[in-house]
Structures are given as structure tokens and as C-alpha cells.
Amino acid sequence: MMKEKTEILINSNQIEKKEKSFATIHPGRRRAEKAFKWISRIMTWSTVFILLVLLYHLGKEGWEYIDWQFLDSYPSRKVAKAGIKAGLWGTVWLIITTAVITIPIGVASALFLEEYGVKGKIGKLIEINVSNLAGVPSIVYGLLGLAVFVRWFNFERSILSGALTLGLLIMPVIIVATREAVKAVPDSIRFGAYALGAHKWQVVFYHVLPVALPGIITGVILALSRAIGETAPLIIIGALAYVSFVPESVMDEFTVMPIQIYNWASRPQEEFHQLAASGIVALLALMLTLNFIAVFIRIKTTKRNIQ
């Protein structure tokens, strides 16, 4: 994608060059270039700086309470005894269930739209719908989840309801990312496979999908990272604030780490605010672990493709 764009840019510049000397159009272009580079550099570093400040503050406040006891205890009114076990396991269950439901549906939908395609007005309608869905505020998904999954399907306030709701929320992200990844697969690979007599599904499954996989995984990481931090839709569907057990099936009730953190942050006692910071550190660690696993899978799959 990027390459194509820059190529086009270079081309248009060359065309202009033929008409007038480039230097006369932009007299201070070297200085402008330097200034632009510096502005971009400062912008990039300021983002990194903000992130570092955030991490430093969290670490400073939250580090004190992080130990095994914190990870392996249920909520308590006494700070020393309180822990995030219920939220941690709730989040893990929820994210895995969400991934299992959403990834196949999202990837398959994207493959269908990109490789097989729906022509005409219906195709356009689907496309507009998918991109619109990506812009809907998350709380609206919560209301939908409450009406459809909790009440109508009667899944109650379960992990399944939560996962389906979050699934809807991140589906557009996965679909869009997968479509972009599939689009980027060069046609030569498809034609090569066709030339050897492969059937369309063989082309898609054995050639297009593996090449597109790293891009798909990146999209999935982004989508799941968003899901892991969501609170609003889960509160609406009735995720709980106090749970004193680890879920045993997808039909169990649950809480998630962001809800637990919010609960601690709104307590009057200062120590609970520190506990909230510890919770955030744990949440970040969990997210990074999941991302690491995904990156690991990506590296593995990419290597195999090259061989």
C-alpha cells in the first residue's frame, strides 16, 4: 500500500519537474524538509515520552502491591488481603472466548468479501455497514448485547454474553484488517497456484491466507487489545463488580479487570487507589503477554512461508 502511494507521488513530482524547475516552485525546500523531519521526530518522541511518564507513574504507585498474593486473591475490604484473581481469570476467559468466536467469523467474512465478493448494490451495502459498525460507540453494543444476548437468547449475565458483545465490537476491526492484508497478497501467487491447477478454495486457503496471516494477526492483536480494556458495554450487560470464584464455563457470571480497577479507583481510601494502579500494571502485563504470544505466532508462520 505505502509503496504504491510513494510511487505515485514520485511520478507526479517528475511530471511537474518537466514543466518547471522544482527549485523555483519550492525555494526553501531543503530547510522545509529539515523542519518537517524535526517536527515529525518531536511528535514521535512526545508520544513515547507520554507513554513512559504514564508507565513510570503506574509502576511507582502500583508496584508495591504486586505479588503472588495480589494475583491470587479475591476482592477484599482490607487492602492487604485484596487481589485481582476474579478479574484476571474473568478477563482471560472473556478474551479467549471472544477470540474463538470472532476470529473465524471475522477472517472468513473478510476472505469472502475480498476473494469471492458480492457484486453490485448489496456488496456496497455490506461494505458501508462494516465500516459504519467500526464507528459505533461501545456503549451502544452494550445495550444491543443486553437486549439480544442477555435477555432474548437468555444467555444471562454470562461470559458468553460478554464475549458475543465484545465480538460484535471488534468484528469490524478484524474484517477491515484482514481485507487489507488479503488485498496486499500479490496476484502472482494466486495465478501461480491456478496455473498448477489449484481450485479456488485451495488458492485461498493454502496460498493467500498464509501470506496474509501476519497482517491478519496484527489486526487481531489490535482488536483484542481494544476488547481487553472495555468496561462500558460489559457493565451494561451486567458484568459484576464483586465475584469470589473463578469461572468454570462460559455460562458463568464474571467480572473483568477494568471493572475491578474502576471499583478500586472510586473508593474513598487512598490505599485502594494504589491498588487500582497495581491492577492497571497487571492488566498491561496481561495485554503484553497476549501480544507477545500473537507476535510469536506471527514470526513462526512467516518463517514457514519463506521456507
Partner 1 sequence: MKKSLKLLLTGVILTSLLPSLSANAQAKLRGKVSIDGSSTVFPITEAIAEEYRAVQPRVRVNIGVSGTGGGFKKFLVKETDINNASRNIKDKEVKKAKKNGISYVEVPVAYDGLTVVINKENSWASNLTPAQLKMIWDRDSKVKKWSDIDSSWPAKKIKLYGPGTDSGTFDYFTKAINGKSGRSRANYTKSEDDNVLVKGVAGDKYAMGYFGYAYYKENSKKLQSVAINNVKPTEVTINNGSYKPLSRPIFIYVSKDGYKKPEVKSFVGFYLEKAKEIVGDVGYIALKDIEYKKAKESLKTLEK
Binding site for partner 1 (CB under 8 A): 74-78, 96, 100, 157, 209-210, 213, 235, 238-246, 248-250, 253, 263, 265-270, 273, 297, 300-301, 304
Residue number with CB closer to partner 1 (171 or 217):
217
Give 75's contacts (C-beta < 8 A, 6+ positions apart).
Answer: 82, 83, 86, 242, 244, 260, 263
Q: How far is the CB of 227 from partner 1 (least distance, A)?
A: 16
Q: How far is the CB of 239 from partner 1 (least distance, A)?
A: 8
The amino acid at residue 143 is L
Residue number with CB closer to partner 1 (83 or 172):
83
Residue number with CB closer to partner 1 (45 or 242):
242
Residue 305 C-alpha cell reads as 512461508
Q: How far is the CB of 5 from partner 1 (least distance, A)?
A: 30
Rounded to whole angstroms, the Cα distance separating 214 from 228 reads 21
Rounded to whole angstroms, the Cα distance separating 203 from 211 reads 11
Q: How far is the CB of 57 from partner 1 (least distance, A)?
A: 16
Burial string for 68-85 (b: 16+ CB within 10 Å, else e) reads eebeebbbeeebeebbbb
Q: How far is the CB of 189 from partner 1 (least distance, A)?
A: 15
Residue number with CB closer to partner 1 (133 or 240):
240
User: Of 221, 207, 228, which Cα lies nearest the Cα of 174?
Assistant: 221
The amino acid at residue 284 is L
Cα 30 to Cα 10, 17, 44, 112, distances in angstroms: 17, 16, 21, 47
Residue number with CB closer to partner 1 (171 or 243):
243
Residue number with CB closer to partner 1 (172 or 247):
247
| Radius of gyration of the chain measured on its C-alpha atoms | 24
Q: How far is the CB of 81 from partner 1 (least distance, A)?
A: 8
Residue tagged 443486553 (cell numbers): 146
